Amino acid sequence: MSITAKFEKLGVDAAPGQEVRLGAVAGARMIGEPLSGHPVDFSHGDVDAHKPAPGAFEAFEAGVQAGGAQAYTEYRGAMAIRETLAEQLAAFTGAPVDARDRMIVTPGTQGALFLAVATTVARGDKVAIVQPDYFANRKLVDFFEGEMVPVQMHYAEAKSGAGLDLTTLEEAFRAGAKVFLFSNPNNPAGVVYSADEIGRIAALAGRYGATVIVDQLYSRLRYAGYDYTHLRAQKIDADNVVTIMGPSKTESLSGYRLGVAFGAAAVIERMEKLQAIVSLRAPGYCQAVLNTWFAEPEGWMAARIAAHQAIRDDLVALFRDIDGCSVREPGAGSYLFPELPELSIAPGDFVTALREQAGVTVTPGTEFSPHSGRSVRLNFSQDHAASVAAVKRLAVLVERYRV
């Protein structure tokens, strides 16, 4: 494949955060006047509305003061930081973490995902990918010229759990898929996999000798009434699982761009080899911020969860008030993935109209699945009042453009 052809598949025009590079839509397709209100960018969380836990900046400052020792760490991150973190992650996930040989610090969780896929997927390899799931997953498989085997997640219909089609997943493994990559809680739908689903994924991985890469980025932000099962703590060969996390949107630390991957030693070792030529290491000074992760003051996380649960509840109610709109209540994370009623304009044009006429930025559902054209993703880690007002404006526009 030529470089040009390869990169044409890697479009980022509709990717969250890139709206600034888009031109205006042809005004002719727009109906009615602009709606006034405080603009809300639901394509990512608002770290100004939800501040980081105390101590993050001070930890960074201490890293700068430490000088060369913090600027130049092992490519996989400073050992002292990895050791402290390994204990926290072991307690959180319920299984031991080996700081020396089974953990790597990366530039953001995106960095960890990239390295994990790059080091497990060779050209032509089959990779099971959930639909819908985080948009980069399929792009990574495309980039490494793997063959994506889609596995549907019937989140809307499922009464509990994520609604993963486990029969198709097993078929994918039987057909030769050696890697299964998924996010839990799911991004974009916010649904959490049940203990039964995770147990069956573990059993399938064991039976077929597949590597499972699980992106648990939002697994700390869990709402009342939802249990969470860590795949790595189930009956599964530790060399078959790579878990990815990071202090990001939940903790409002995304500006430091930190991620961590832990699990299969052989994969982690390859990830470090590749990191050496991709970015050398996670930012030296930023790594020091990891010392504050999982070490927030008593009650801080509970308050963060409560604040997000309150926003979630208001937005879910607003979407359910829109005739013909369906949305499943997220069990964890800060994503909401409502399906809108049928509209008179193309979904992409509606997203543009929403941004231009209502100051509301959302991410089109097609970024996450070709079958999610009528859905949009909202990151509701926002100012509470502003996000409620923004979804009300969205509801007005839905009526304007309704078929």
Tokens representing 398 are 């839905």
Q: Considering the rule CB under 8 A, would residue 276 count as an interface residue with a second copy?
A: yes
Q: Considering the rule CB under 8 A, would residue 263 count as an interface residue with a second copy?
A: no
For a second copy, which stretch binds (CB under 8 A), given 45-53, 214-222, 315-323, 365-373?
A: 45-53
Nearer to a second copy, 389 or 397 (CB): 389
Q: What angle do CA 331, 47, 87 make, to 5 degrees?
A: 65
Q: Considering the rule CB under 8 A, would residue 385 count as an interface residue with a second copy?
A: no
Question: Distance between CA 293 and CA 184 in Å, rounded?
Answer: 19
Radius of gyration of the chain (CA): 21
Three-state DSSP at 306 gives: helix
**DSSP letter assigned to residue 373:** T
For a second copy, which stretch binds (CB under 8 A), given 107-115, 169-177, 193-201, 334-342?
A: 107-115
Nearer to a second copy, 182 or 256 (CB): 256
Question: Distance between CA 178 and CA 165 in Å, rounded?
Answer: 17
Q: Considering the rule CB under 8 A, would residue 286 count as an interface residue with a second copy?
A: yes
Nearer to a second copy, 93 or 248 (CB): 248
In the list 188, 246, 263, 284, the residue contacting a second copy (rule: CB under 8 A) is 284
Question: Distance between CA 350 and CA 331 in Å, rounded?
Answer: 27
Dump strand ranges (E) for 153-288: 179-183, 211-215, 241-245, 258-263
Question: Distance between CA 372 and CA 227 in Å, rounded?
Answer: 26
Q: Considering the rule CB under 8 A, would residue 317 count as an interface residue with a second copy?
A: no
Binding to a second copy by CB under 8 A, coded x per residue (else -) over 214-253, reads ----------------------------------------
What residues contact residue 101 under an 8 Å CB cut-off, 6+ apart?
Answer: 265, 268, 269
Q: Considering the rule CB under 8 A, would residue 384 count as an interface residue with a second copy?
A: no
In the list 77, 132, 190, 283, the residue contacting a second copy (rule: CB under 8 A) is 283
Tokens representing 165 are 């089609």
Question: Distance between CA 230 and CA 239 in Å, rounded?
Answer: 15
Footprint of a second copy (CB under 8 A): 1-3, 6-7, 10-12, 15, 17-18, 20-21, 44, 46-48, 57, 60-61, 63-64, 67-68, 70-75, 79, 106-108, 110-111, 113-114, 119-122, 136, 139-140, 143, 254-257, 270, 272-274, 276-286
